[in-house]
Amino acid sequence: MLKRIAPDQLRLGMYVQEIPGPWMNHPFWRGSFKLEKYEDLKTLRSAKIDEILIDTTKGRDIIVEDAPKPAVATSPTTTPAPESEAETVKPRQAKISVQVGAEQERVQAARVLTGSKKAIMTMFNETRMGKALDVRQAMPVVQEITASVSRNRGALISLARLKTSDDYTYMHSVAVCALMIALGHQLGLSPEETRQAGLAGLLHDIGKMAVPTDILNKPGKLTDDEFNSIKKHAQAGHAILRGVDGIGDAALDVSLHHHEKIDGSGYPFNLKGSQISLMAKMGAVCDVYDAITSNRPYKPGWEPGHSIKRMANNQGHFEESVLEAFIKSVGIFPTGSCVLMHSGKVGIVIDQHPGSLLTPKVKVFFSATTMSMLPIEIVDLATTRSGDKIASYADPSKMPNLPNLETIWASSGLN
């Protein structure tokens, strides 16, 4: 049964069917979900929302405040139990915090990317030639990427999207490593677990070295036979890593299962839900996000914010809790997203604020009203008093006079 209730009537265990307004106007990426986290309960109760639609057939019903309550015998040494034990448990906090701004980290992140790409190219090409992979070569790369992500989550991740067709496979591996590290921090994994997640991301596509290069780099649509050849990279990668001294279970698992889907429609084994490990579920999200936001020989990449929305609407592909954590790690409007403000101005997101998914820092540079350039302005939505805020993602294809977004985003400061 559907009921409309006030936010202060919410309780843990209720099933939220609908929150009024567009999904990007509140910090919940899903339209419906079971309310199981105390942090989410507090957020909804304090939000500027008049009512929320719940489904009592899928979760807890409202409490009738005037219903008679049975007396509970207590002794001087006991206290009444809280409404729900879960409500007294604070959620596990992410172990990462922004140390520097994206602008400050970008120079160092670019150096890390350059060095990482060279190292990955060497490792992958040696693997293609039949040489044994030395995992000791990979760990310094993981450590450098971890350090950059720890200083600022968005800088290296957003720079890693700027790939060419020639270096896609290598840069994709670096990007997925960074995304896995950021997601591991968000999920509260231990430092060693996060390090192993990063290594798994770095090596998840090692099996593509067993795929003929003419198929791997084909600019057009693949034939069925060619696609089947590509799909074999998961098992090929697992076979390569299985013979590597010192490789961890996470890297083995992610290499084999990062194309599995929650609904069982993935490959190579059509695994479902709980049959897929947490690391593999993380790998699936990170792999897809970087793939769809990157320019490929056969199609341009999607804008980051649009990609997040498409992934959130793709039911059956990803584990919801993992995808939710991923969105929190990169932002509802990830760094590099093109956004339309309520004022009609167009900007590009250049940095995030921890714990505030809806108020990133935006570089405003264009008017969607006059379709003309504006003086570049940095707007920090977390601190500005202008009242302006993000209305939606902006579609660059519908703005013919829009300048090159990568140039605007990568330019320093107000240049």
- What is the separation of C-alpha 187 from the centre of its chain, rounded to a whole number of angstroms? 11
Checking if the pLDDT of 285 tops 70, the result is yes
Checking if the pLDDT of 70 tops 60, the result is no
d(CA 156, CA 148): 7
Q: How many CB atoms are located within 10 Å of the residue 388 CB?
A: 17
331: left (phi over 0), alpha (psi -120 to 50) or beta: left
Nearest to 148 by CA among 111, 188, 95, 194: 111
Please name the residue that has the structure tokens 């202008």. 386
* Domain residue spans of the chain: 2-67, 102-330, 338-410
Segment 258-271, tens digit of pLDDT: 999 999 999 999 99
Segment 171-226, tens digit of pLDDT: 999 999 999 999 999 999 999 999 999 999 999 999 999 999 889 888 888 899 99
Nearest to 205 by CA among 120, 146, 278: 120
Can you state the percent helix, strand and coil of the chain, rounding each to 5?
45, 15, 40
- Residues 334-351 have a mean pLDDT of 91
Determine phi and psi for 299, rounding to 5 degrees: -165, 150
Percent of the chain with pLDDT over 90: 48
Segment 100-128, tens digit of pLDDT: 888 889 889 999 999 999 999 999 999 99
Class of the domain covering 102-330: mainly alpha
- Residues 324-353 have a mean pLDDT of 91
d(CA 355, CA 335): 15
Task: List helix spans (H) across 313-362.
Answer: 320-330
Query: Model confidence at 63, in pLDDT bands (50, 70, 90)?
Result: low
d(CA 228, CA 211): 10
Checking if the pLDDT of 38 tops 80, the result is no
- Are 183 and 193 in contact by the 8 Å Cβ rule? The answer is no
CA contacts within 13 A on the Cβ side of 391: 13
- Residues 6-17 have a mean pLDDT of 87
